[in-house]
A and B are shown apart, each in its own frame.
Chain A
Amino acid sequence: MSQFLSQEKSIYLQISEMIENDILRDIILEEERVPSTNEMAKLYSINPATAAKGINILVDEGIVYKKRGIGMFVSTGAKETIKKRRKAEFYDHYIRSIIKEAESLEISKEELVTMILENEDC
């Protein structure tokens, strides 16, 4: 939870994404408390209502849940939920923009596939 916010994307989406990243990287573990909206508001100098909007996205997706009077906690199975959803979004978020850039550079589909297959990290 200690990155800078960018102006390129809605702040509340960045907040929910950062918490998700922390869950994926085991920085916040399942059944642990996530920072409160006020803590996040202060840390990032953002309006608490915006921070709350970011957390509410995670509540709606069942990634975090509220313990009355204590705060928000990471659900069991949250990591799997996040991975599943991000896999589903992978095409729209990454592949589409790669294809768009490849098209404007006239890189053929075959070339593109070769690049991916030849990447040693793959």
Chain B
Amino acid sequence: MESIFCKNVSKKYKKKIVLEDVNLELEPGKIYGLIGRNGAGKTTLLSMIAAHAPVTEGLICLGEEEIWENPNALEHICFSRQLNPSMIMVVKDYFKLASMYYPHWDENYAKQLIEKFELETSKPVSKLSKGMQSMVTIVAALASKADYTFMDEPVSGLDVISRDLFYKLLIDEYAETGRTFVISTHIIDEASDIFEEVIVLNQNQIVIKENTQELLERAVFVSGKAEEVDKAVKGMNCYHAETIGRSKSVTVLLEEGQRIEDSSELTTRAVTLQNLFVALCGKED
């Protein structure tokens, strides 16, 4: 399987810019996490890659071939979007449609997943709770067996036990097949260890795309007396500085070769992906 490339992709709705000049390579055989604030353009990006929506400018390709209106490329792609909560279609009919739409659909696997999630398939989607609607999108995504599978907030509304089940099923499927998954989520920390790479969307652009562990290794939270902190982080990439009285804290993204000198005047701490996300994308006071 080849990589998917977004080349200078922009999306505008009338005058409103949602994504601007996005360049992205999705390599086969990885689990990507896609994070960004509400309205950052996560769903728009995924729906354009899956050719559910046209780009305003730019090109999206699987290998050399453009994906738009290209059945050869589209058979490898599944975008399981969030359901319209008032959809009156019965769940099993939704799966029937999915089985016709996705050429590599695995009916047995779908049945197993439905059992694991204890989904009632004879009910209309609109009668399901938000969490159960998310389960429907998870089953459709996994059973599609598409090489590239995009999931839009699959854990939204799921209780913690079902989320745990989802992560385990995902790792199972990934370990077995090496399919590529892109998963958008707002529940960042509990999923961050699953993402081999993380993609951060902020203000219409991709601000980070990096191996998750390597990214977290170069992120440090530094606190202490303001002038000591300033001295230690001088010239570094600093985010989300906060001061209270004489104390100051700041999140630093270290570049190659940089380090915070060990000192009894300073406290340094590892940050989680969620901490880092807030530091990068939160508004400064």
Q: Is the CB of A103 within 8 A of B213?
A: no
Give the chain A neighbours of B175 by CB distance below 8 A.
Answer: 38, 41-42, 48
Q: Which of B151-190 contact A (CB under 8 A)?
A: 164, 167-168, 171-172, 174-175, 189-190
Q: Is the CB of A53 within 8 A of B213?
A: yes
Most buried by A among B193, B194, B269: B193
Q: Would you call B67 an interface residue if the criterion is a C-beta within 8 Å of the partner chain's C-beta atoms?
A: no
Name which residue of chain B comes closest to A103, CB basis.
B264
Q: Which of B263-284 contact A (CB under 8 A)?
A: 264, 269-270, 272
Name which residue of chain A comes closest to B216, CB basis.
A10
A89-122 CB mask vs B (1 if < 8 Å, else 0) is: 0000000000010011000000000000000000
Name which residue of chain B comes closest to A5, CB basis.
B193
Q: Would you call B217 an interface residue if the criterion is a C-beta within 8 Å of the partner chain's C-beta atoms?
A: yes
Q: Which of A32-91 contact B (CB under 8 A)?
A: 38, 41-42, 44-50, 53
Interface size on A, as a range, is: 20 to 34
Bound-state Cα–Cα, A100 to B21, Å: 49
Bound-state Cα–Cα, A44 to B212, Å: 16
Q: Would you call B68 an interface residue if the criterion is a C-beta within 8 Å of the partner chain's C-beta atoms?
A: no
Give the chain B neighbours of A8 by CB distance below 8 A.
Answer: 269-270
Give the chain A neighbours of B167 by CB distance below 8 A.
Answer: 45
Q: Is the CB of B174 within 8 A of A48?
A: yes
Q: Is the CB of A47 within 8 A of B196?
A: yes
| With contact pairs A41-B171, A42-B168 given, residues A47 and B264 touching in the complex (Cβ less than 8 Å) | no
Q: Is the CB of B168 within 8 A of A47?
A: no
Choose from A38, A47, A103 the contact partner of B194 (Cβ within 8 Å): A47
Choose from A38, A42, A44, A50 the contact partner of B213 (Cβ within 8 Å): A50
Bound-state Cα–Cα, A42 to B212, Å: 18
Closest Cβ–Cβ distance, residue A23 to chain B (whole Å): 23
Q: Would you call A9 an interface residue if the criterion is a C-beta within 8 Å of the partner chain's C-beta atoms?
A: yes
Name which residue of chain B comes closest to A44, CB basis.
B193
Q: Is the CB of A42 within 8 A of B172?
A: yes
Instruction: State the 8 A-B residue pairs at the shortest beta-carbon distance, nearest first.
Output: A46-B193, A38-B175, A45-B167, A7-B272, A47-B196, A8-B270, A100-B264, A41-B171
Give the A-binding residues of B (Cβ under 8 A).
30-31, 164, 167-168, 171-172, 174-175, 189-190, 193-196, 212-213, 216-217, 264, 269-270, 272
A-B contact pairs, 19 of them (CB 8 A): A7-B272, A9-B270, A10-B217, A11-B213, A12-B213, A38-B171, A42-B172, A44-B193, A45-B168, A45-B171, A45-B193, A46-B171, A46-B193, A46-B194, A47-B194, A48-B174, A48-B175, A50-B196, A104-B264
